[in-house]
Structure 1
Amino acid sequence: MYAVNMEVKWTRQDQGDTLVHHYKNKQDQTDKLDPSYKNRTSLFIEELQQGNTSLLLKKVQVSDGGQYRCRVDSDYWKDSISVLLTIEGVGGAPNITVLGTDVSGGVLLQCECRGWWPVPDLQWLNSDGAELPAESCEDHKGFNVRLQLTAHKSNNNVYICRLKQGQIMMEKQIDITDHLPRYITAIAVPVILILLSALVGVAYFIRRDCPLEDKV
């Protein structure tokens, strides 16, 4: 099919047939294009002779995902086809950060994943694989997701952050043993000081009540 002399229109069906790309009279027509697509679309001009009217979309954005339609018209023939464009982003493995401790003796953990679209399912689990309720979740336009948990001392102090998107699953775990508050050390110091003070006081009273005998 020779498409050089045909009219080719690419539109967004899910946005009221917004004009994405328009080719007519052997050149691109840009006056009625949707502003968000200007300078981001093109046809494969060299392949129009073989009937290839595919659209090249550059600088792809999340908002580009949707239903597109290509319509081709000539003096004697016309046809159209719809295409669903799905935008997916595969990011990195989850990363765990220790944010500190709270008054309850828990360790505040944050799990973060970057570069994923659609938004992945992020979970906190204990070492037995049981899901734990997350305390806060932040979604930064889908690409960066954070999930926080206050972890407490357990049988082995191991906690797991799990990421799932479709058939993909990634995990990262942390042992919070070294991050738990060390209350024993903090209490021991004042106790020792109190004991020393008491011993000094006892020695003072003993010496005062039992004076040394005068030498002959």
Structure 2
Amino acid sequence: MLPQIDGLSLSPVKVFSILIFHLLIHLNRAESQVVGPHQPVVALVDDDVILPCHVEPAEDVTAEILEWTRSDLNPRFVHVWRSGQDLVNTRNPSYRGRSSLFINELKRGNISLKLSRVKLSDGGTYECSIPLMEKKSFVKLVVASHAARSLLISLSGTDENRGGVVLQCESAGWYPEPELLWLDGEGNLLSAGPTETLRGPDDLYTVSSRVTVEKRHSNNINCRVQQKQISKSRETHKHVPDEFFELTSCSAAPIVIGLAVSLAVSIILILIGVFFIWRQNKTNVRRAHCDACKEQETANRPETDKTERDQEQDKLMSQDIVPPDTSKPPPEKSQTSFEEQNKSGSANHSSKTGDITVVEVEKNGNYIFLKNTSSENKLLSGWKLKLQINNRESATYEFKENFILKAGETLLLRQDAVSKPIKTDADLLWMNMVNWNVGDDVKIDLISNTGEEQMLLKNKIM
């Protein structure tokens, strides 16, 4: 008996045709692929971007379930299409109102995703999938920042061992993390120190590096910061005058001479000090011996043999001795004196500055080490540190309220820089602290809370 549909009988040929038709549809769907781009997609912050994804061969996917996801998110759904509509409530909150599909293109198999107002956090790998077809593809999105805020080459110091000058290059405001290169005037790469990288709270990177430039290099030095992923770079250059190299080559002799002179002067001062101490001790011994001889002679001399002058001195001495008046009570300490003696808390508030000394001054102007050499804690509220470089106008920095430097302990003062710090265990960070370099005259004064000023250092940094 032939099968019937709605009262109509179907011939075996028609039944066979229908089966073949459905089989071809199934085979066609089995061969369909979800295809994405082979290269990462690059977008700038605050721009709109399209993540390409489509079905090959093209077919209508309007009635399918379409999903865009990121495995590193929770929830992982970026955009979901089901039953002919967007499911907004299933999306990750950070994408709501910023993701959309091209509805009119779904019938041609285009399931690309549009992201609006791109953020740095949007960077990552996305999965484009049709779950019922068990087909999926991946799209990598790279989000880059706009032009970096700064790129600067500065003179950091000198390298006496190699007879060159040290340059530092620093640039901020990059994303993704860039690389920093040094080149000479002919475009040849220079061997430099490791690149220091710092990532700020805004997820942007700051990079810096130092290089020693010798006389054999050309005087034009270039610093290049680049991001290979997005083919983006910035470059700046600096001309190093010949005078810098001449100063570097001649600087070793004065240092050696200065050290020799300082050593000779120190030895002479020590010998003079030892001589005066020996002479003073010898004088004291001789004086004590003479006084003892005089007392012995006076004791052995009869009373009748005393001279008229001795008798007069005895009379004057007897008149000077006055018995204490026990009828009057001893004077009481004033209330002000009592309060001043009890003002000390957990630390000494003395204005004496001589107990604070300089232990170390970093030659490139990054930090200062101080030490409390006394046996008492020092409360540095209201104290100030005054820095003066090369007789320029001095800059003053005040210690924070209730800051205590304990007895025998050291204090590390460092400037707050964007680059990776040389000393990471600083006790205090001072914004925009004046900087110095090797060869600068540095003067450091400490001012107490009572205005007493003490010079801690006045020397040329070597």
Q: CA separation in 2, counterparts of 1:37 and 1:94?
A: 28
Cα distance 1:18–1:135, how it changes in 2: closer, same or farther (>3 A)? Answer: closer
Kindly indicate which of the two structures has a greater share of residues assigned to strand. 1
What is the total number of aligned residue pairs between the two structures?
Answer: 179
Q: CA separation in 2, counterparts of 1:154 and 1:29?
A: 67
Q: CA separation in 2, counterparts of 1:5 and 1:33?
A: 20
* Larger RCO (CA within 8 A; separation ≥ 6): 1
Which is further off, 15-24 or 125-134? 125-134
Cα distance 1:182–1:93, how it changes in 2: closer, same or farther (>3 A)? Answer: farther
- Give the 3-state SS of the residue equivalent to 1:86 in structure 2: strand
Task: Say whether the 8 Å CA contact 1:135–1:150 is kept in structure 2.
Answer: no
1:18-77 per-position Cα deviation (integer Å, ceiling 9, x unaligned) = 11111123221111211122112111011122222221122233433333223336xxx6
Q: CA separation in 1, counterparts of 2:179 and 2:83?
A: 49
Question: What does residue range 47-58 of structure 1 map to in structure 2 within 5 Å?
Answer: 47-58=105-116
**What do you get for the CA RMSD once the two structures are aligned?**
4.0
Q: CA separation in 2, counterparts of 1:95 and 1:84?
A: 32
Matched with 1:189 is: none
Instruction: Note if 1:110 corresponds to 2:169.
Output: yes
Give the counterpart of 1:131 among 191, 194, 211.
191
Matched with 2:262 is: none
Instruction: Note if 1:163 corresponds to 2:221.
Output: no
Instruction: Note if 1:149 corresponds to 2:210.
Output: yes
Give the counterpart of 2:239 among 175, 189, 195.
175
Matched with 1:201 is: none
Cα distance 1:179–1:148, how it changes in 2: closer, same or farther (>3 A)? Answer: farther
Instruction: Note if 1:61 corresponds to 2:119.
Output: yes
Matched with 2:289 is: none
Kindly name which structure, 1 or 2, has the bigger radius of gyration based on alpha carbons.
Answer: 2
Cα distance 1:99–1:159, how it changes in 2: closer, same or farther (>3 A)? Answer: closer
Instruction: Note if 1:35 corresponds to 2:99.
Output: no
AA matched with 2:238: I
Give the counterpart of 1:72 among 130, 134, 158.
130
Question: What does residue range 75-90 of structure 1 map to in structure 2 within 5 Å?
Answer: 78-87=133-142, 89=144
Task: Say whether the 8 Å CA contact 2:148–2:174 is kept in structure 1.
Answer: no
Cα distance 1:2–1:150, how it changes in 2: closer, same or farther (>3 A)? Answer: closer
Where structure 1 has 5 or more consecutive residues not aligned to the other structure, the ranges are 184-216
- Give the 3-state SS of the residue equivalent to 2:144 in structure 1: coil
- Give the 3-state SS of the residue equivalent to 2:117 in structure 1: coil
4+ residue runs of structure 1 moved beyond 6 angstroms?
Answer: none
What is the CA distance between 1:84 and its match in structure 2?
2.8
Q: CA separation in 2, counterparts of 1:94 and 1:178?
A: 31
Matched with 1:210 is: none
Matched with 1:22 is: 80
Q: CA separation in 1, counterparts of 2:129 and 2:189?
A: 52
Question: What does residue range 2-13 of structure 1 map to in structure 2 within 5 Å?
Answer: 2-13=60-71
Where structure 2 has 5 or more consecutive residues not aligned to the other structure, the ranges are 1-58, 248-462
Cα distance 1:124–1:95, how it changes in 2: closer, same or farther (>3 A)? Answer: farther
Q: CA separation in 1, counterparts of 2:129 and 2:169?
A: 49
Q: CA separation in 1, counterparts of 2:166 and 2:149?
A: 18
Instruction: State, as a whole percentage, how many aligned pairs show the same letter.
Output: 25
Kindly indicate which of the two structures has a greater share of residues assigned to helix. 2
Give the TM-score normalised by structure 2: 0.32
Cα distance 1:174–1:103, how it changes in 2: closer, same or farther (>3 A)? Answer: closer
- Give the 3-state SS of the residue equivalent to 1:31 in structure 2: helix
Task: Say whether the 8 Å CA contact 1:109–1:148 is kept in structure 2.
Answer: yes
